[in-house]
Structure 1
Amino acid sequence: MADRLLEVSRLNKTYADGTAALRNVSFDVRRGEFVVIIGPSGAGKSTLLRCINRLVDPTEGSIRFGGLETTRAGTRQMRAFRREVGMIFQGFNLVQRVTVLRNVLHGRLGYMNSLTGALGLFSGKDTEEAKKILQRIGLAEQMYKRADELSGGQQQRVSIARALSQRPKLILADEPIASLDPVTSEVIMQHLHAICDEDGITCLVNLHQVHVAKKYATRIIGIHKGIVVFDGTPDELTEDTTERIYRK
């Protein structure tokens, strides 16, 4: 279908030690969806996102993004693909010693040649756009501070801003609120959801918190021991199904 942005088919990932992290995982994601993936620690959620953006190579299966078969993509195709996929990490993954503004501008590196990127020669247009993004997420007053001067919640907002500076079609967020307190977690989810909704960005988010998933998701995928055991709307996620997803 024309509105499919991401197609995952029969995806398997087995690590060198024999751990089967993903087993025959298949699902499609349509443009504009806000999909939350839930499951216990070790279920395979992080491996799934890392296979999608090719930080980890799958053992078997197919991943198509906008018509591109990423598992067989060459270097040039992967560079173009990664420009369109923003990544938000649990640990923020910022350069702590540089300013908030420069961290956001790092989202533009995929659009620059190796020399200008290495020298950090960002254009005036990119700089102004980065400032507007920081204004949008409430961090304009922090833009010239070093990243390590910010709180955890502020750093996660910077990582959202960096992803936005890529102008992505898809954002992958791997446990973005796992290390944050409940109030800060709510702020992060509100920003992420609102921005994706306003800009028409498709989003896949890994979460532990089922109540948060039900509040923000248009669709929930439940994974247990590397297998998809639920795929439906928040209203369809019953207590019995939740217990099956999280059972030991």
Structure 2
Amino acid sequence: MAAILEIRNLKKVYADGTAALQGVSLQVERGEFVAVIGPSGAGKSTLLRCINRLVEPTEGAVLFNGTDTSKAGGQQVRKLRREVGMIFQGFNLIQRVSVLRNVLHGRLGYMSSMTGALGFYSKRDTEEAHSILQRLGLNQQMYKRADELSGGQQQRVGIARALSQKPQVILADEPIASLDPVTSENIMQYLYTICREDGITCLVNLHQVEVARKYATRIIGIHKGAVVFDGAPDELTDEVTGLIYNK
């Protein structure tokens, strides 16, 4: 079976001359829970954002289910972003609206621009959003405004919004970077458990090596825009970690 994601010689040079990615190639199989680790500025966020075209690659290809997304037009990008959910470090919620409405925004990619703008969500979409929030322990917070929630609760809303898309892949860009250790553990447990139960492929960027070792089925280490490690968690020795972080 073909890999769900295939990245071929991916390069990204920003306008200021920063070479964020320098020929990254890798494959991700369906159902994997992959942690991408590396120091700040290594290219982890750029890698994830090239996958769903939030960042345009300079060179190379990203194949999602065998289709080269780097050549995708408007409609294809819209379809790609439906099937690839994104969880952000800064939550990216609309603070003034309810938790439920934030989760329903995950359905916008399936709606016409008119019904989306008017917020006409189907009964089924609403029921499914209720169910997802219950699963994430947020049923009591459903009608609160997002800005009334703690950081950990907001990140769970971010996960719920991604799940409402019914994605094949979830990209999580430093989802626990701004959270305390207990809350971070909680978020990772939810993300890992739900992805495994639902068969969702996940790529998660992490700073914390121990968290990566605990949850990932595979770890990719990036240093200065290049892959310097790709293997199982138990292969990530202190020596290799030193290489990734240039210690």
Instruction: Give the structure-2-normalised TM-score.
Output: 0.99
The 5 A counterparts of 1:107-146 are 107-146=106-145
Q: What are the Cα deviations for residues 22-43 of structure 1, in whole angstroms up to 9, with x where unaligned? A: 0010000000000000000000
Task: Give me the whole-angstrom Cα distance separating, in 1, the residues matched to 2:79 and 2:179.
Answer: 32
Alpha-carbon shift at residue 80 of structure 1 (Å): 1.0
Q: Structure 1 segments of 4 or more deviating over 4 A?
A: none
Secondary structure at the counterpart of residue 4 of structure 1: coil
2:6 matched residue in structure 1: 7
Larger displacement relative to structure 2 (71-80 or 150-159) = 71-80
**Paired positions, count:** 247
Task: Give me the whole-angstrom Cα distance separating, in 2, the residues matched to 1:160 and 1:228.
Answer: 27
Give the alignment's Cα RMSD to 1 decimal: 0.6
Answering whether residue 37 of structure 2 is matched by residue 43 of structure 1, we say no
Q: What are the Cα deviations for residues 143-179 of structure 1, in whole angstroms up to 9, with x where unaligned? A: 0000000000000000000000000000000000000
1:189 matched residue in structure 2: 188
Q: What are the Cα deviations for residues 177-213 of structure 1, in whole angstroms up to 9, with x where unaligned? A: 0000000000000000000000000000000000000
Structure 1: segments with no counterpart, 5+ residues: none
2:218 matched residue in structure 1: 219
Q: What are the Cα deviations for residues 94-129 of structure 1, in whole angstroms up to 9, with x where unaligned? A: 000000000000000000000000000000000000
Task: Give me the whole-angstrom Cα distance separating, in 2, the residues matched to 1:114 and 1:168.
Answer: 20
Alpha-carbon shift at residue 77 of structure 1 (Å): 1.1
Task: Give me the whole-angstrom Cα distance separating, in 2, the residues matched to 1:24 and 1:173.
Answer: 22
Larger displacement relative to structure 2 (144-153 or 70-79) = 70-79
Q: Kindly provide the amino acid, as one letter, of the partner of residue 75 in structure 1.
A: G
Structure 2: segments with no counterpart, 5+ residues: none
Instruction: Give the structure-1-normalised TM-score.
Output: 0.99
1:241 matched residue in structure 2: 240
The 5 A counterparts of 1:147-158 are 147-158=146-157
2:22 matched residue in structure 1: 23
Task: Give me the whole-angstrom Cα distance separating, in 1, the residues matched to 2:149 and 2:80.
Answer: 31
